[in-house]
Amino acid sequence: MVENSRDAARARADLRFKKQEEAATVRQKAMAEYVAESDARQVKTNKLRALRLAKEAEDLANAPAAPAKKPVRAKKK
């Protein structure tokens, strides 16, 4: 009887250990996916920002100089 309870306790401990190991593996995989998505999003954001800044600089360089306008005076009644 003592041997049987030891075997049962060992089996429960092994099962608990396997579940913990599996949970740790799942957490690690999920974290790796999260980090990969975050890195990809950051790369895409940086690329888009660079493109936007380049376009704004080009638009600014190609924009005709606006003539200075005289301030509009209010009409007297």
pLDDT digits 0-9 by tens, 14-71: 999 999 999 999 999 999 999 999 999 999 999 999 999 999 999 998 987 766 777 7
CA dist 1 and 8 (Å) reads 11
What tokens does 74 get? Answer: 């209010």
39 Rama class: left (phi>0) / alpha (psi -120 to 50) / beta? alpha
**pLDDT of 73 higher than 90:** no
Cβ count near 16 (within 10 Å) = 10
Give the CA distances from residue 19 to residues 31, 32, 51, in Å, rounded to whole numbers and listed in that order.
18, 20, 48
- Which of residues 25 and 76 earns the better pLDDT score? 25
